[in-house]
Amino acid sequence: MLLVKPFSRSAAVAGENNNQDDEEENCRRSSKDPSRYPKGWNRKRVQKLIDHYENQTDEEAIAEDEAAYHSAKVTMMAVPVELVPAVQRLISRKRAG
């Protein structure tokens, strides 16, 4: 089974107001960065998220986890690994439309 841990929305959407910068970055993807990013994401945004979690103290990480468990908008559950792709597709469809 796989326990899926949500991450902080504020960290995940960091740079959300810079859509034009994101689009330009995606268009200018250099050969040094062969990564493909989901719409609205780029190397800079991914690095910002990585930096957030790498620089987070243990206390901050615990507080973030506890807040997610107590959120009325998030449910934590164990999902059998073989069902994870189906659950991800379901979530993607829900968000898309």
pLDDT at 20 over 80: no
Instruction: Determine the average pLDDT of the residues in 72-91.
Output: 92
**More confident position, 65 or 30:** 65
pLDDT the model gives residue 30: 52
- pLDDT, one tens digit per residue, over 24-64 is 555 555 557 888 998 999 999 999 999 999 999 999 999 99
Percent of the chain's residues with pLDDT above 90: 45
Query: What pTM value is reported for the model?
Result: 0.45
pLDDT the model gives residue 34: 84
Secondary structure of the chain: what % helix, strand, coil (to 5)? 55, 5, 40
- Domains of the chain, by residue range, sit at 7-74
